[in-house]
Amino acid sequence: MSVAAPETLGPALLDRLPAAVQKPAYDRAALAPGMAHLGVGAFHRCHQAEYTDDLLSLQFDRWGVVGINIRPPNLTETLGRQSGLYTRLIRENSHIEARIIGSILEVVDSQARAAPALDVLSSSDIELVTMTVTEKGYCHIPSSGELDLSHPDIVHDLANPQTPRSVPGILARALEQRRATHGQPLTLLSCDNIQSNGIILANVVRAFAQRRGNGLADWIEANAAFPSAMVDRIAPAVTQDDLDSVEQWFGYRDAAVAVGEPFRQWVIEHKFAGRMPRWDLVGATFVDDVTPFEHLKMRVLNGAQTTLATLGVLAGLEHTSDAIADPLLAAFIKCMLVEETLPTLTPVPGMDPLTYVEQSLGRLKNTAIRHRNHQIATDGSQKIVQRLLNPIRDRLRQGESIALLSVPVAGWMAYLIQASEKFGRSWPVSDPYAGKVAAIADATGRDAKALVAGILAIDTIFDPGLAANDTFRKAVTSALDGLLSDDPMATVKRNLKQADTTRLKRPARSA
Ligand code: CS2
């Protein structure tokens, strides 16, 4: 007897879903496209697309999403085959909540050529573009936020502006086409974890447009808005296991499952070029200034993730939840956040910083979220400025200790250095600066002082003022020396112990 293959998720299945799976509460057939999203990955499917789905259920409007990928993976084969539908699982330890999200109407693969993406982005139907293109997608210099004019894709796009490959090149071209056709304004909403993401996006698009020299930069100034935003939900890369689980639990196949934690947050700068979806009706917040929110999130939650990721790999641990289950790493991360990170933050209305730290650490303990340390360590060079170096700079300015925050900076270095077999261990790394760090390590050998001198001289990551700071250099050198030894966790322990001793000696702060 042959067993029929399980059905694949699609519109036809919506009326026959198991009771445990929630479905869109609005008429999808009546939904029309109003916005595009660049970079449809697990995060978008668990975040902006879910908020939009919530909004469509509450207040139906023309806000269907056209999802575009200009980098892998291909979308047509997965989401496209399912008419944009997918299962969004919320998982917390043994708790599972399943829901079909219907807000993505259409998907467009534009990996080989920019034309399909440009067609969508320049259409007058599209009033807003949201994007999650990863930190390196902006082609900016991490230490300054300016467009990296030596980036190979930018060099290509400035020479071939009609067939761009980079995000700044594609957006500038789409805006140019909008100006030449219907002239409708556009809001471009960055949802990546870079500081002042709206300002960085505006910088790179403006710098690119200025070089076109045809008045485009002025048109953009008058007709486009680049609000900053803080986004939050832990949604790791999806695994085959996640796809198989959906089939096992609910009886259908879904090639585009997304898995996230229960917590979500979205704070958006109130600066729009036209109509905006009322995401504020479904849990997002529109504010005048997102800076305090993004500092809090990137320095606490993301800072903890990056620290646990690199130190976790050095300790032989696979996931964030494994790293935070380690008593030493858990004690280190809490002490680092409370003693060194929190004093660098400006107050966030309605949020107690200590409660936020506890809540963030609690989220990282969720064992159903299989967030690999290697995934978080990917592109560390693009993440450490906003997560670690900026709070370090603030601490140094305040004349305060950076003994703990400098350990994960050395952790990032050790992670890249030790990826090479020559240094004893080996793991595949993905970071635009991996080659540079490997070349420095090849030239200097295992001498922490020389390694740190070489790496701090990379001024596109470390601004020269910070790199020249003696306290910083010494702290990172001492931590790196220990992390490269056979017992890297001894360094974590030593620095934690020293910080504890200093804290106990300090006179109690008055309330
Ligand atoms: C993570 C983030 O991979 C990473 O860099 O730190 O994707 C993180 O999970 C999200 O920012 C959480 O909102």
pLDDT tens for residues 31-54?
Answer: 999 999 999 999 999 999 999 999
Checking if the pLDDT of 112 tops 60, the result is yes
Closest residue CA from atom 9 of ligand 1: 234
pLDDT given at position 1? 52
Ligand 1, atom 5: nearest CA belongs to which residue? 376
Q: For residue 504, what pLDDT is reported? A: 75
For a pocket test of ligand 1, which of 233, 234, 320, 430 has the largest count of ligand atoms closer than 8 A to its C-beta?
Answer: 234
What are 388's two structure tokens?
Answer: 């670690």
Residue percentage of the chain with pLDDT more than 90: 94
Confidence of residue 213 (pLDDT cuts 50, 70, 90): confident
Average pLDDT over residues 20-33: 97
CA-to-CA separations, 363 to 107, 155, 263, in angstroms, rounded: 31, 41, 8
pLDDT band, very low/low/confident/very high, at 503 (cuts 50, 70, 90): confident
For residue range 450-473, what is the model confidence (pLDDT) as tens digits? 999 999 999 999 999 999 999 999
Residue to probe by mutation, ligand 1, list 193, 333, 363, most atoms within 8 Å of CB: 193
pLDDT at 507: 64
Q: Element (H or E) spanning 489, and its range?
A: helix 488-505
Atom of ligand 1 nearest to the CA of 235: 9
Question: Residue 270 — φ and ψ, nearest 5°?
Answer: -80, 80
For residue 47, which atom of ligand 1 is closest to its CA? 13
pLDDT at 511: 36
Task: Report whether the peptide linkage leading into residue 24 is cis, meaning its omega lies within 30 degrees of zero.
Answer: no
Separation of CA 263 and ligand 1 centre (Å): 13
Mean pLDDT, range 374-394, rounded to an integer? 98
Nearest CA to ligand 1 atom 4: 376
By CB atoms closer than 10 A (0-12, 13-18, 19+), residue 263 is: middle
Asked if 342 and 357 count as a contact pair (C-beta separation under 8 A), the reply is yes
In ligand 1, which atom is closest to the CA atom of 302?
6
- Predicted confidence (pLDDT) at residue 144 exceeds the cutoff of 80: yes
Rounded mean pLDDT, 431-451 = 95
Report, as an integer, the average pLDDT of 255-277.
97
- 376 alpha carbon – ligand 1 mean position (Å): 7
For the CA of 376, the nearest atom of ligand 1: 3
Residue identifier of the C-alpha nearest atom 1 of ligand 1 = 376
User: What does the angle CA 96 – CA 100 – CA 102 come to, to the nearest 5 degrees?
Assistant: 150
Residue 509 pLDDT exceeds 70? no
Tokens 């445990």 locate to 20
C-alpha distances (whole Å) from 509 to each of 101, 339, 370, 503 are 49, 12, 39, 11
pLDDT digits (tens, 9 = 90+) for 282-313: 999 999 999 999 999 999 999 999 999 999 99
Q: What is the pLDDT of residues 322-341, one digit of tens each?
A: 999 999 999 999 999 999 99
Asked whether the beta carbons of 429 and 377 are under 8 A apart, the reply is: yes
| pTM score | 0.96
User: Does the structure show a pLDDT above 50 at 171?
Assistant: yes
**475 Cβ contact partners less than 8 Å away, ≥ 6 residues apart:** 402, 403, 406
Residues with CB under 6 A from ligand 1: 193, 232-234, 302, 305, 375-376, 383
Look at phi and psi of residue 165 and say left if phi exceeds 0, alpha if psi is from -120 to 50, else beta. Answer: alpha
Confidence of residue 421 (pLDDT cuts 50, 70, 90): confident
Taking 60 as the threshold, does the pLDDT of residue 202 lie above it?
A: yes
Q: Which two tokens stand for residue 254?
A: 């879904």
The per-residue pLDDT of the chain, averaged, comes to: 96
Q: Which of 46, 265, 296, 302 to mutate to test the pocket of ligand 1 (most atoms within 8 A of CB)?
A: 302
Confidence of residue 260 (pLDDT cuts 50, 70, 90): very high
pLDDT confidence band for 349 (50 / 70 / 90): confident
422 has a pLDDT exceeding 90: no
Q: How far is the CA of 221 from the centre of ligand 1 (A)?
A: 31
The confidence score (pLDDT) of residue 424 equals: 67
- Residue 165: pLDDT above 80? yes
Q: Given the CA of residue 298, which atom of ligand 1 is nearest to it?
A: 11
CA distance 386 to 414: 19
pLDDT of residue 2: 59
Question: At 269, which helix (H) or strand (E)?
Answer: strand 265-269
Residue nearest to atom 11 of ligand 1 (CA): 232
Band (pLDDT 50/70/90 cuts) for residue 510 is very low
Relative orientation angle of helices 448-456 and 434-444, to the nearest 10 degrees: 140
* CB distance 409 to 383 below 8 Å: no
**Closest residue (by CA) to atom 3 of ligand 1?**
376
Give all domains of the chain, ordered by start, each with its CATH number.
11-287 (3.40.50.720), 291-505 (1.10.1040.10)
Pocket test for ligand 1, best of 46, 135, 376, 430 (most atoms within 8 A of CB): 376
Mean pLDDT of 161-177: 98
Q: For 366-395, what is the mean pLDDT?
A: 98
In which order are the strands placed within the sheet that holds 95-101? 21-22, 95-101, 86-92, 258-260
Atom number, ligand 1, closest to the C-alpha of residue 305: 6
Ligand 1 pocket test, pick from 305, 313, 430 with the greatest ligand atom count within 8 Å of Cβ, gives 305
